Chains A and B, each alone.
Chain A
Amino acid sequence: MKKCIACGMPMEDISDFAANDPGKDYCVHCSRPDGEMQSFEEKKENLTRFIVRTQGFDENAARKIAEDMMRKLPAWKEYFD
């Protein structure tokens, strides 16, 4: 099963892919309204806000977790080298 290069989410249904395009390597949650992939900073902030909202973590702890998640993903490799 293909996984999103920007967040790691498995993508199986067409609606999981950005712009409903199975040729894309990133998911609907990692794309902007125009279908382009979010930038590193956008993704980091979105992930941080998501962790705070759904798990209630302190913002700094959430940001660190967001960075650690992104560190393992192919889309953001160059930002951690």
Chain B
Amino acid sequence: MKISSRQIQKQNTRKKIIDTAYRVFSEKGFSVPSSVIAAEAGVSHGSIFAHFPTMNDLLNSLLSDFGDKIGTSLHVLAKKCDSVENLLKEHLKVLEEYEAFYSRFISERDRLPDEAKNAFAMIQSTAAFHFSSVIEHEIEKGTVKKLPTHILFNTWLGLVHYYLMNKDFFSDSNVSVIKRYGPELISAYLKLIKNESEVY
């Protein structure tokens, strides 16, 4: 079926609103009014509501896109990993790509609507899927300490999230926390979880 130029324009405007909201939320947080997003996107305020009747609709569409993108990136990169060290590197590589938005998301998650909270859980479930398959294999081999998978996963996530959520203490505003501290976090975490003879 041929798509009319009006439909193409409609799709472009929708994309422009989502892309702008992604940037504005990354910079200023999720409580930014829709009028700011409209002004930044160069569209009328009414145009936002024509595409997204409520701000929650906009947020849910954006998070659904974000979840798909980050989930696919995690999947493609993590699938090739045969060691926990490589997996952690790939995990950080994906987080670095989306660092500003991801940091806002984890910092403000508990103030967002239910559907947005669940988007967070879905993203972590994708990460947990790859993490568990690699780390459980290493536990079987005896290279990683026999601890529950969820404790190993949550310890890693807790460490990374602490740095992201307190970025102002750890890094200048323009410097990626992941880039600056990633290697140290991976090395320290591996020392904590590896069986002693396997630490290098």
Residues on A facing B (Cβ under 8 Å): 1, 8-10, 12-13, 50-57, 64-65, 68-69, 72
Q: Indicate which residue in A10, A53, A54 contacts B72 across the interface (CB closer than 8 Å).
A: A10
Contacts of B151 in A (CB 8 A): 56
- Check: B128 CB closer than 8 A to any chain A CB: yes
Q: Indicate which residue in A12, A53, A65 contacts B122 across the interface (CB closer than 8 Å).
A: A65
By the criterion CB–CB under 8 Å, are A53 and B132 in contact? yes
Would A55 and B154 be within 8 Å (CB), given that A65-B118, A68-B118, A69-B125 are in contact?
yes
Whole-angstrom distance between the Cβ of A21 and the nearest chain B Cβ: 19
Roughly how many angstroms separate A58 CA and B97 CA in the complex, as a whole number? 31
Roughly how many angstroms separate A53 CA and B135 CA in the complex, as a whole number? 13
Roughly how many angstroms separate A8 CA and B79 CA in the complex, as a whole number? 15
Whole-angstrom distance between the Cβ of B57 and the nearest chain A Cβ: 15
Whole-angstrom distance between the Cβ of A37 and the nearest chain B Cβ: 19
By the criterion CB–CB under 8 Å, are B153 and A55 in contact? yes
Roughly how many angstroms separate A65 CA and B121 CA in the complex, as a whole number? 7
Q: Indicate which residue in A12, A13, A53, A64 contacts B149 across the interface (CB closer than 8 Å).
A: A53
Roughly how many angstroms separate A56 CA and B79 CA in the complex, as a whole number? 23
Roughly how many angstroms separate A68 CA and B118 CA in the complex, as a whole number? 7
By the criterion CB–CB under 8 Å, are A55 and B75 in contact? no
**Interface bits B107-138 vs A (CB < 8 Å: 1, else 0):** 00000000100100110110011011000000
List, sorted by A's number, 29 A–B pairs whose CB atoms are closer than 8 Å: A10-B72, A10-B76, A13-B79, A50-B129, A51-B121, A51-B125, A51-B128, A52-B150, A53-B149, A53-B150, A54-B131, A54-B132, A54-B150, A54-B153, A55-B124, A55-B125, A55-B153, A56-B148, A56-B151, A56-B153, A57-B121, A64-B118, A65-B121, A65-B122, A65-B125, A68-B115, A69-B122, A69-B125, A72-B64
Contacts of B124 in A (CB 8 A): 55
